[in-house]
Amino acid sequence: MAAFIFFVTMFTLMASTTPRADAAETSAAAVVIRVDQSGKGDYKKIQDAIDAVPSNNKQPFFILVKPGIYNEKIIVPEDKPFITVSGSKTNSTVITRNDSGNIIESATFTVLASNFVGQYITIKNTFRYHGIQAVALRVSGDKVVFLGCKILGYQDTLLDENGRHYFRGCYIEGAVDFICGNAASLFERCHLHTLSEEFSAITAQQRGSLTEETGFIFLGCKITGERTAILGRPWGSYSRVIFVLTYMSNVILPRGWDDWGDATKQSTVFYREYKCYGPGANTSKRVEWSQKLTAEEAKIFLTKNMISGKSWIRSTLKHVKKVSTAISNNSTGHS
């Protein structure tokens, strides 16, 4: 029960977007930049809008992207924090590439900056071949939030590489290890959809030692898919993944988890399920080295909130406007 209260508390605090004056560095109003392929905005390409943000900016920038298919490879560089990229409708604002082979280079969209927010956009890598990496979204910056986005790919769709991240209401689709990396991330009310015709693993979390405060928590999510899948396998020996209050369709195999062919990892990984439901959530045939979250473990998470979220999520979201407000204002960002 303690765990339940903890997660619900965390959920409530993180869901709050009440602005607070605790982010001194971003006290200025956001500059709005519009991207429109028809030429009616400030730029036709998303990357051009990002390039227009000055390095080491202290001011937040809100890049509003009009509907369209953007065949672009996007990089938000490390020295440009406080950028929001926002579509107005997720389905109609699509950033897509077909690139593969290298887990770093293949990404359609790369976030290296901190305090980045992505919302209402679809990010896609159309390359589909079992055994070849093809990343749609790579996130390496700290304090990064994605809201209501679709992240679509096949192998390694979301390289959730480093930093603390919060994904809310996102749809993430892929086949092999499609949420991978060593970030500390909370996925709340996200829909995970597996595609594989062969082996499918939802997560490949990469935590490499006991001292790292990283891992993936899925809270109130939904898992569906084609064929069969497992919840995760360890990219790093101390891989840590927790599913809480999550619906699992029968796409999830009874054994649930895999040790990636290395039995020594069975004693070091931390794979837990808590109050999940649905035909795939029956834990009676799970591998014996994965467990239900105990009240004792929940205490650990109480004192070490894995993404130490509430204050940074609030400050990161402080300048995220409602799209309608951003549209109604007429600033161009070229003052």
Give the binding site for ligand NAG (CB under 6 A): 29, 91, 98, 126-127, 282, 284-285, 321, 325, 329-330
Strands of 61-65's sheet in order across: 31-35, 61-65, 83-86, 117-119, 144-147, 164-168, 184-188, 215-219, 240-244, 270-274, 291-292
Distance set, CA 173 to CA 41, 105, 108, 191, 328 (Å): 31, 20, 15, 8, 33
* Smallest gap from residue 322 Cβ to ligand NAG (A): 8
* Smallest gap from residue 112 Cβ to ligand NAG (A): 25
Strands of 179-181's sheet in order across: 74-76, 109-111, 137-139, 158-160, 179-181, 201-205, 230-232
User: Residue 51 catalytic?
Assistant: no
* Smallest gap from residue 310 Cβ to ligand NAG (A): 23
Nearer to ligand NAG, 237 or 249 (CB): 249
* Smallest gap from residue 285 Cβ to ligand NAG (A): 6
User: Residue 22 catalytic?
Assistant: no
Nearer to ligand NAG, 54 or 279 (CB): 279
Nearer to ligand NAG, 211 or 284 (CB): 284
Nearer to ligand NAG, 97 or 165 (CB): 97
What is the spatial distance between Cα 39 and Cα 19, in angstroms, rounded to a whole number? 33
* Smallest gap from residue 238 Cβ to ligand NAG (A): 29
State both tokens at 49: 């809008």
What is the spatial distance between Cα 156 and Cα 131, in angstroms, rounded to a whole number? 10
Catalytic residue among 42, 142, 160, 177: 177
Strands of 171-174's sheet in order across: 68-70, 93-97, 122-125, 150-152, 171-174, 191-194, 222-225, 247-248
DSSP codes of every residue in 44-67: SSHHHHHHTSPTT--S-EEEEE-S
Nearer to ligand NAG, 191 or 227 (CB): 191
Catalytic residue among 42, 142, 156, 258: 156
What are the respective helix, strand and coil percentages of the chain, to the nearest 5? 20, 30, 50
* Catalytic machinery residues: 156, 177
